[in-house]
């Protein structure tokens, strides 16, 4: 569901990546992307959660991991490059590892 959303709504995903630029420049991490995704695509994020919540114990972490994976799978189409891992604050304000990205365009 999340992967197909990223393919079908590529312009919305690109808009979120572009909204990160004034704050962080060309480098951003998955936690930062997810935070803005929730802000601008809240209804979609809730749908993703609803799809997982009855099936999995930790729906939020699993949805967030799938969003990060969708960035990886669609990196070429989104004009981003994975630079490895970085520690940053997740949506719970806890430090945890996530992917670091560079915006190429």
Write the CB contacts of 91 (distance below 8 Å, at least 6 apart in sequence). 31, 34, 35, 38, 60, 64
φ, ψ of residue 44 in degrees (nearest 5)? -65, -45
Q: Where are the domains of the chain?
A: 2-103
Taking only the tens place, the pLDDT of each residue in 44-60 is 999 999 988 877 678 89
Q: State how far the Cα of 56 lies from the Cα of 23, in Å rounded to an integer.
A: 34
| pTM as predicted | 0.92
Nearest C-alpha neighbor of 98 from the set 79, 80, 78, 84:
84
pLDDT score, position 14: 95
Exposure b/e, 38-64, CB count within 10 A at least 16 = b: beebeebbeebeeebeeeeeebbebbb
**pLDDT tens by residue, 50-98:** 988 877 678 899 999 999 999 999 999 999 999 999 999 999 899 999 9
The pLDDT of residue 1: 85
* Under 8 Å between Cβ of 69 and 5: no
Mind listing the pLDDT tens digit for each residue in 3-53?
A: 899 999 999 999 999 999 888 889 999 999 999 999 999 999 999 999 888
């Amino acid at each position: 569901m999340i992967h197909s959303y990223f393919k079908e709504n590529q312009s919305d995903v690109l808009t979120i990546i572009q909204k990160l630029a004034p704050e962080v420049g060309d480098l951003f991490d998955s936690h930062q992307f997810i935070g803005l995704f929730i802000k601008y695509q809240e209804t979609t994020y809730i749908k993703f959660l609803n799809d997982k919540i009855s099936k999995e114990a930790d729906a939020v972490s699993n949805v967030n991991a799938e969003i990060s994976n969708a960035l990886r799978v669609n990196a070429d189409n989104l004009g981003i490059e994975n630079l490895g891992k970085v520690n940053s604050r997740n949506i719970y304000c806890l430090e945890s590892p996530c992917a670091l990205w560079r915006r190429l365009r």
